[in-house]
Copies of this chain bind each other. A is one copy, B any other.
């Protein structure tokens, strides 16, 4: 093959970035290397074996025995749409917790599916109270499902799910959960909590590039799909067709799987398994506490309700006088650090800092705090060099507040000796 010499644009050489926004998170070099392996066909026995392995590891991360546990060929939002378009038939009512962007998006998607969302609202940053879910179920009449966001990426709040599963069973509703920013970053127990259908994305706490949506459905959810009176409105996201490709006995062609992305996901799941879920959750907690302490020293208060702050994503309220856009631009241009701004009504009012998967590391927390100190000083803020770093260091040393409980006693002993 000959190639002419003319090139429309040069080789792509992305600047290194410290990704501490709401996703994508940093990706381990092993995952990047896995994606660069030569391709297998999507019906090659060796590739089908890889799909089996991904399913096994995903079940362990979701804490489920659900046979139908797969990685959908689309991003987390495709996972949301896939569950809703399969489970919601035209005319179905669905109670949707709306306390941020992603709950609101779920309600929109229910409408697009022809369903009727019953919006159960709470102020942004606060949780949907389980008692309010119960009251909504009691007054709504029959609903097809209750849909909640476990980790609301727009506000930094985590939603208690454990009491909801039993409520849903009591009222004959399915329980659908968005675990995009929680899976593999904080405890999530699909089977134990009675979650019937759950989806996530790869680019958050799994630390894989975006492009796949892990999802899982139990028999109750699959039975609802089988009972549908109408065909699923989507062909690409029709889970009964997709199941025939992922199911070991059938392996019927539906669409060509995104092979390289699945290579990457397999390696990312191997890293999760090697670390262990409990250790991974503890790591996320520790670094978010150190970050939170540092931010408070700079005058940035946590936005979400106390006791419900996400370890994977910190949403912090900006102090008066701090210029959102100027500081984030300087962070990116001078320090190569990405953090996220506020969405919707929180635009200009908060920052969203993700410490997810590979991004949740001590060195990254310290690097960010040092940069923020320097920029705050330049803006005439109250910070002294080292203030935020010292606050984080006290958390890491396990000697100060808050929350030495996030470390094992052995770690603490070692750190304070």
Contacts and interface: CB of A to CB of B under 8 A. Distances in A.
A10 B274 CA distance: 11
A259 interface: yes
Nearest to A10: B270
A314 interface: no
Q: Which of A34, A111, A112, A283 has the most CB of B within 10 A?
A: A112
Interface stretch (A17-25, A298-306, A368-376, A395-403): A17-25
A23 B39 CA distance: 10
A47 B109 CA distance: 28
B209 A260 contact: yes
A276 B201 contact: no
A393 to B, nearest CB: 19
A8 B81 contact: no
Contacts of A274: 3-7
A311 to B, nearest CB: 15
A38 B32 contact: yes
B211 A260 contact: yes
Nearest to A280: B1
A361 B1 contact: yes
| Count of chain copies | 2
Contacts of A38: 14, 16-17, 26-27, 32
A256 B23 contact: yes
Contact of A8 (B41, B56, B256): B56
Nearest to A260: B209
A234 B112 contact: yes
A404 interface: no
Nearest to A357: B1
A266 interface: yes
Interface string A110-121: 011110000000
Nearest to A8: B273
Contacts of A211: 73, 211, 258-261
Interface residues of A, number: 95
A272 to B, nearest CB: 9
B27 A14 contact: no
A8 B53 contact: yes
A288 interface: no
Interface in A323-356: 332, 338, 343
Given A17-B41, A35-B35, A236-B77, A258 B209 contact: yes
Given A73-B74, A76-B256, A78-B74, A270 B7 contact: yes
Interface string A267-280: 10011011110010
A103 to B, nearest CB: 14
13 contacts: A3-B271, A4-B274, A8-B60, A12-B266, A26-B38, A32-B35, A33-B36, A35-B36, A74-B74, A75-B258, A76-B256, A260-B264, A261-B261
Interface of A: 1-9, 12-17, 19, 21, 23-24, 26-27, 32-42, 44-47, 50, 53, 56-57, 60, 73-78, 80-81, 85, 105, 108-109, 111-114, 201, 203, 209-211, 231-237, 253-261, 263-264, 266-267, 270-271, 273-276, 279, 283, 332, 338, 343, 358, 361
Given A7-B270, A14-B46, A26-B39, 10 more contacts: A8-B57, A14-B38, A14-B47, A24-B256, A36-B36, A77-B235, A80-B236, A112-B234, A234-B234, A236-B237
